């Protein structure tokens, strides 16, 4: 499969990695909540569209 066919899962994996790092090592900067929330919304929409 090409990467464009699985972009929702790619965004979901990036979201999960950032969320986990945020909790484990307190990776935090000013726009972190907006980036993580945006990734979650984008991944959810793309996963729904691809089904």
- Tens digits of residue pLDDT in 1-51: 565 568 888 888 888 888 888 778 876 677 888 888 888 888 888 888 875
Q: Quick one: pLDDT at residue 15?
A: 86
Q: How many CB atoms lie within 10 A of CB 43?
A: 20
Query: What range defines the domain where residue 31 resides?
Result: 3-50
The sign of the dihedral angle between the CA atoms of 26, 31, 34, 40 is negative
Give the chain's domain count: 1
Q: Quick one: pLDDT at residue 27?
A: 66
């Amino acid at each position: 499969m090409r990467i464009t066919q699985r972009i929702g899962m790619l965004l979901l994996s990036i979201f999960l990695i950032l969320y986990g790092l945020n909790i484990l090592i307190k990776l935090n900067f000013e726009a972190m909540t907006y980036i993580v929330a945006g990734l979650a919304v984008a991944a959810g929409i793309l996963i729904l569209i691809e089904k």
